[in-house]
């Protein structure tokens, strides 16, 4: 599968952050400037938005990001998801949990 230009920029930023602790610090403190200086790509955020980079490289910690609550009106479900919901199932939460917290679920013991 071919990477698009945006994916290549993100790959480069992550790779550089893994190998260069000084770049990682700059990336966390001034992400737009760090990304633009490294890649030459221009970062244009919508008005009122900021870019936050969290350093999650400490392998002795398990990180969980609390995502913004999705706007239900903007969610597009697959045909399979719609059929499950129509039949009384709840497929949206498991998909969301699995994609957002893949590592954490391995540590939960009930």
pLDDT in tens, the chain (110 residues): 445 888 888 889 999 999 999 999 999 999 999 999 999 999 998 899 899 999 999 989 988 887 777 666 767 777 877 777 777 665 555 666 666 566 655 655 55
In the DSSP assignment, the letter for residue 59 is T
Q: Token pair 């969610």 is at which residue?
A: 75
Residue identified by tokens 């993100």 is: 10
Asked if residues 28 and 17 have their Cβ atoms less than 8 Å apart, the reply is: no
CA distances from 80 to 68, 70, 83, 88 (A): 25, 20, 5, 13
């Amino acid at each position: 599968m071919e990477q698009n230009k945006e994916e290549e920029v993100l790959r480069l930023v992550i790779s550089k952050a893994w190998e260069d602790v000084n770049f990682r610090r700059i990336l966390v403190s001034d992400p737009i400037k760090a990304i633009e200086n490294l890649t030459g790509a221009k970062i244009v955020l919508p008005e009122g938005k900021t870019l936050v980079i969290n350093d999650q490289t400490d392998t002795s910690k398990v990180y969980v990001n609390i995502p913004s609550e999705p706007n239900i009106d903007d969610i597009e479900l697959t045909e399979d998801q719609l059929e499950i919901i129509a039949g009384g199932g709840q497929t949206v939460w498991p998909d969301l949990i699995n994609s957002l917290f893949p590592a954490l679920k391995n540590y939960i013991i009930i």
